[in-house]
């Protein structure tokens, strides 16, 4: 395979456009994209035609507006290029109108009451900053999805809006600092994707994996994952073949992916792309998840993207690496070489610190889902408490700045940090703290809370918006300043002083941190129903409206959709578990008890004086568990039935968490105990040892 020819070969990217479009059209399009303006109809029609010809050469027969409704997965509505002509026959057509705007019956996608039924249609609009691409026989056009009133019904629209806000306010700051040459600031994102691969054949035997993506039942294997490390150290040929194919498919789509083996848990792996613009990274991450699922099936695997497929085994996350960069090639979170560069770096750094401290609630909400609640707060994942890791060295520099002290680092020369000069920031030399939910890693922030199954859109909407808002405050202050240098320093020092409580370099998993975080007044929102109500707090509505990212109406709709999604998911899990218990576990326990009892009777018939206490004990214990399981299943069924009695979406979500979820945990514990004393072949579905032994 020739990587150079392969990479992006299925993408209608800039190179293709430059080569194929009339020069003038290309220039107009390019300018439109660069400046984020709307495309005019004439240009659109030329682009559409060229795009169609290109796609048909690559074997495409259909096109679709590819969009990301609030379900969190991508949606497509396929149309063919074929247009019938008068007198029979057909021509291949694809107009500018079809390129830039599509109609879509939006009524089947969640809208949280945003669309009344008489205007159930929404429209999709091409986002020309994301390139069109070919998947199979279909030309996919990345689009935003809106209601007729312009309300965002998807995950792309707010992301684009938040990028605009960040661009606007970051540029204000840069202009003040003398960078008049900068035309655009973009949020850059590189999401690292974790996932599990297990045997398809075993997956197909488990209703829980099929319906919910995670195991709802299953006793932990006797061998811990630590012991498996060496065993799983080498990449299995089948896994290697899968990875090669995923890489190749993604390269064709212009996703610069590099799959890697990950040793955290058996069967767990990671894929890291090279970072790009936030909205493209978000599209690419969706494509990555789709591709991994599809390719897995071809290799006899099931790809599990759930945040916690197995209890007691490491969960999966998505590390969202984030920074800001200019069209002139500056990374705004890159420590500089000169004091002036460092002043700029420190200003943007403390903007993030302040934003995170002020908006812990929004960051927590951006990663809230029923699936991710299994991770956050559990001892192997980032906790639900937000804090920032800066590394010892940078922390010490901020400390010195705050107290107007000189910064002395080991053998390094003393830095002069009088009021006029800011210190040089050394390259990050500290060990990275793997327990931190948000770590500064040299020239970017790594947000480790997003779940493996979720879109990274929300997390980046929030980061972009809160940083933009703080930058706007800084810009307001600086625009009025007489002595800019002194004003910058004042802001840096003030911000550190006021917001340093959010900085924490220690172990985030410890109980002491929970205590300390509480003493510092940091938020701890362990579950989705704890977090979501903050979304519609007046302060947050004002923030999003101020930055033109969400209207109050859109926020309310999102609040309801997220609560509904949470409830739906837990109810599905509860019902799936009931099926498995009633149709699988209970019959299996009865069957196996019968087998043991029969064996005991046979022994007694043969030799009446034999000690049968083993069989008797087993029958007794299994029967106890059987009764417990029956009661547990009844309690679970009751709690699911009671769901509709809750008054509003929040009450329903709380009911799910406090009653349905609890009942599931209780039932699972009993079933798992029964599994551990039941003959393996008598158990109705493959257990953890088998699932995690996938090769």
**Binding-site ranges for ligand ADP (CB under 6 A):** 188-190, 192, 272-275, 321-323, 331, 441, 443-444
- Should residue 156 be labelled a site residue for Mg ion when binding is judged by CB under 5 A? no
- Partner that binds at residue 659, options ligand ADP, Mg ion, none, CB closer than 5 to 8 Å by kind: none
How far, in Å, CA of 270 to CA of 495, rounded? 36
∠ CA(578), CA(580), CA(582), 5° rounding?
65
- Should residue 206 be labelled a site residue for Mg ion when binding is judged by CB under 5 A? no
CB of 327 to ligand ADP, least distance (A): 14
Question: Which residue, 127 or 334, has its beta carbon nearer to ligand ADP?
Answer: 334
- Should residue 269 be labelled a site residue for Mg ion when binding is judged by CB under 5 A? no
- Partner that binds at residue 443, options Mg ion, ligand ADP, none, CB closer than 5 to 8 Å by kind: ligand ADP
Question: Which residue, 286 or 565, has its beta carbon nearer to ligand ADP?
Answer: 286
Q: Which residue has the tokens 């793997």?
A: 434
How far, in Å, CA of 3 to CA of 176, rounded? 43
CB of 535 to Mg ion, least distance (A): 28
CB of 460 to ligand ADP, least distance (A): 10
Question: Which residue, 323 or 678, has its beta carbon nearer to ligand ADP?
Answer: 323
How far, in Å, CA of 63 to CA of 12, rounded? 13
Burial class (CB in 10 A: 0-12, 13-18, 19+), 682: middle
CB of 692 to ligand ADP, least distance (A): 24
- Partner that binds at residue 572, options ligand ADP, Mg ion, none, CB closer than 5 to 8 Å by kind: none
What six digits make up the tokens of 255? Answer: 């996703």
What six digits make up the tokens of 350? Answer: 């403390």
CB 680 within 8 A of CB 688: no
Q: Which residue has the tokens 């990875």?
A: 243
CB of 396 to Mg ion, least distance (A): 24
- Partner that binds at residue 130, options ligand ADP, Mg ion, none, CB closer than 5 to 8 Å by kind: none
What is the β-pairing status of strands 268-273 and 257-261? antiparallel
CB 283 within 8 A of CB 38: no
What six digits make up the tokens of 129? Answer: 């900053």
Question: Which residue, 366 or 565, has its beta carbon nearer to ligand ADP?
Answer: 366
- Should residue 319 be labelled a site residue for Mg ion when binding is judged by CB under 5 A? yes
CB of 336 to ligand ADP, least distance (A): 15
Q: What are phi and psi of 374, to 5 degrees?
A: -70, -25
CB of 551 to ligand ADP, least distance (A): 29
Residue number with the smallest Cβ distance to ligand ADP: 190
- Partner that binds at residue 189, options Mg ion, ligand ADP, none, CB closer than 5 to 8 Å by kind: ligand ADP
Print the SS3 string covering 496-544.
HHHHHHHECCCCCCCHHHHHHHHHCCCCECCCHHHHHHHHHCHHHHHHH
Question: Which residue, 74 or 441, has its beta carbon nearer to ligand ADP?
Answer: 441
Give the CA dihedral 382, 388, 393, 396, nearest 10 degrees. -130
CB of 272 to ligand ADP, least distance (A): 5
Integer CA distances (angstroms), 338 to 417, 421, 469, 564, in order: 13, 10, 27, 52
Question: Which residue, 130 or 441, has its beta carbon nearer to ligand ADP?
Answer: 441
Stretch that binds Mg ion, among 8-16, 317-325, 391-399, 520-528 (CB under 5 A): 317-325
Spatial CA neighbour of 694 closest among 194, 195, 202: 202
Helix (H) and strand (E) counts in the chain = 25, 18
H or E element at residue 80:
strand 75-80
CB of 278 to ligand ADP, least distance (A): 9
Question: Which residue, 294 or 509, has its beta carbon nearer to Mg ion?
Answer: 509
Question: Which residue, 128 or 437, has its beta carbon nearer to Mg ion?
Answer: 437
Stretch that binds Mg ion, among 248-256, 316-324, 470-478, 523-531 (CB under 5 A): 316-324
- Partner that binds at residue 495, options ligand ADP, Mg ion, none, CB closer than 5 to 8 Å by kind: none
CB of 152 to ligand ADP, least distance (A): 24
CB of 161 to ligand ADP, least distance (A): 20
Size of the site for Mg ion (CB under 5 A): 1
DSSP string, 249-269: HHHHTT--EEEEE--SSTTEE
- Partner that binds at residue 80, options ligand ADP, Mg ion, none, CB closer than 5 to 8 Å by kind: none
What six digits make up the tokens of 281? Answer: 């990274």
Question: Which residue, 78 or 434, has its beta carbon nearer to Mg ion?
Answer: 434
Spatial CA neighbour of 514 closest among 446, 435, 445: 435
CB of 36 to ligand ADP, least distance (A): 20
Question: Which residue, 122 or 190, has its beta carbon nearer to ligand ADP?
Answer: 190
- Should residue 318 be labelled a site residue for Mg ion when binding is judged by CB under 5 A? no
Distance of CA 683 to the CA centre of its chain: 35
How far, in Å, CA of 548 to CA of 551, rounded? 7
Question: Which residue, 319 or 558, has its beta carbon nearer to Mg ion?
Answer: 319
- Partner that binds at residue 274, options Mg ion, ligand ADP, none, CB closer than 5 to 8 Å by kind: ligand ADP
How far, in Å, CA of 667 to CA of 674, rounded? 11
CB of 448 to Mg ion, least distance (A): 8
- Partner that binds at residue 331, options Mg ion, ligand ADP, none, CB closer than 5 to 8 Å by kind: ligand ADP
Burial class (CB in 10 A: 0-12, 13-18, 19+), 454: buried
Question: Which residue, 255 or 670, has its beta carbon nearer to ligand ADP?
Answer: 255
Question: Which residue, 212 or 320, has its beta carbon nearer to ligand ADP?
Answer: 320
Residues contributing to the site for Mg ion (CB under 5 A): 319
């Amino acid at each position: 395979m020739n990587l150079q020819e392969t990479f992006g070969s299925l993408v209608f990217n800039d190179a293709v456009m430059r080569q194929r479009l009339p020069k003038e059209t290309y220039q107009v399009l390019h300018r439109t994209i660069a400046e984020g303006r709307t495309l005019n109809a004439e240009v659109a029609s030329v682009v559409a035609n060229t795009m169609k010809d290109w796609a048909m050469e690559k074997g495409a027969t259909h096109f679709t507006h590819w969009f990301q409704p609030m379900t969190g997965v991508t949606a497509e509505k396929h149309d063919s290029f074929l247009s019938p002509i008068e007198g029979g026959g057909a021509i291949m057509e694809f107009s500018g109108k079809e390129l830039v705007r599509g109609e879509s019956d939006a009524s089947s996608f969640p809208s949280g009451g945003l669309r009344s039924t008489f205007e159930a249609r929404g429209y999709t609009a091409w986002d020309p900053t994301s390139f069109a691409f070919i998947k199979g026989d279909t030309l996919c056009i990345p689009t935003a999805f809106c209601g007729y009133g312009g309300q965002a019904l998807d995950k792309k629209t707010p992301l684009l809006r938040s990028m605009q806000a960040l661009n606007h306010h970051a540029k204000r700051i840069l202009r003040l600092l003398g960078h008049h040459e900068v035309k655009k600031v973009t949020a850059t994102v590189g999401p690292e994707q974790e996932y599990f691969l297990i045997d398809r054949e075993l997956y197909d035997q488990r209703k829980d994996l099929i319906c919910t993506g995670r195991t709802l039942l299953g006793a932990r294997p006797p061998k811990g994952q630590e012991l498996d490390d060496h065993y799983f150290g080498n990449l299995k040929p089948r896994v290697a073949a899968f990875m090669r194919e995923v890489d190749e498919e993604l390269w064709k789509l212009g996703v610069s992916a590099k799959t890697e083996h990950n040793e955290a848990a058996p069967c767990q792996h990671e894929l890291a792309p090279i970072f790009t613009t936030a909205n493209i990274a978000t599209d690419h991450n969706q494509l990555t998840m789709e591709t991994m699922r599809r390719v897995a099936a071809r290799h006899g695997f099931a790809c599990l993207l759930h945040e916690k497929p197995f209890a007691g085994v490491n969960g999966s996350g998505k590390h969202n690496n984030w920074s800001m960069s200019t069209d002139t090639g500056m990374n705004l979170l890159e420590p500089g070489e000169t004091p002036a560069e460092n002043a700029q770096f420190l200003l943007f750094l403390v903007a993030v610190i302040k934003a995170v401290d002020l908006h812990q609630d929004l960051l927590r909400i951006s990663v809230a889902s029923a699936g991710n609640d299994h991770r956050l707060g559990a001892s192997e994942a980032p906790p639900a408490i937000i804090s920032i890791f800066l590394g010892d060295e940078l922390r010490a520099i901020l400390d010195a700045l705050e107290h107007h002290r000189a910064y002395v680092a080991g053998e390094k020369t003393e830095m002069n940090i009088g009021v006029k000069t800011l210190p040089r920031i050394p390259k990050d030399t500290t060990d990275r703290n793997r327990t931190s939910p948000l770590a500064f890693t040299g020239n970017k922030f790594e947000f480790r809370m997003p779940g493996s199954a979720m879109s990274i859109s929300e997390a980046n909407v929030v980061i972009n918006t809160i940083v933009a808002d703080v930058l706007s405050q800084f810009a307001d202050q600086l625009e009025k300043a007489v002595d800019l240098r002194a004003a910058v320093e004042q802001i840096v020092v003030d911000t550190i002083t006021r917001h340093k409580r959010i900085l924490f370099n220690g172990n985030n998993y410890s109980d002491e941190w929970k205590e300390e975080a509480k003493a510092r007044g940091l938020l701890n929102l362990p579950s989705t129903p704890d977090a979501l109500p903050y979304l519609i707090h007046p302060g947050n509505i004002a923030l999003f409206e101020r930055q033109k990212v969400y209207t109050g109406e859109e926020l309310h709709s999102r609040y309801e959709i997220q609560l509904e999604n949470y409830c739906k998911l837990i109810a599905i899990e509860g019902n799936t578990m009931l099926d498995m218990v009633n149709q699988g576990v209970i019959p299996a326990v009865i069957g196996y008890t019968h087998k043991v009892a029969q064996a005991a009777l046979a022994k007694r018939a043969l030799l009446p004086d034999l000690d049968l206490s083993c069989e008797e004990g087993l029958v007794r214990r299994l029967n106890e568990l059987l009764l417990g399981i029956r009661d547990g299943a009844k309690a679970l069924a009751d709690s699911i039935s009671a769901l509709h009695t809750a008054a509003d979406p929040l009450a329903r979500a709380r009911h799910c968490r406090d009653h349905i979820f609890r009942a599931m945990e209780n039932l699972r514990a009993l079933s798992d105990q029964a599994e551990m004393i039941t003959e393996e072949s008598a158990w109705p579905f493959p257990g953890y040892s088998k699932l995690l032994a996938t090769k």
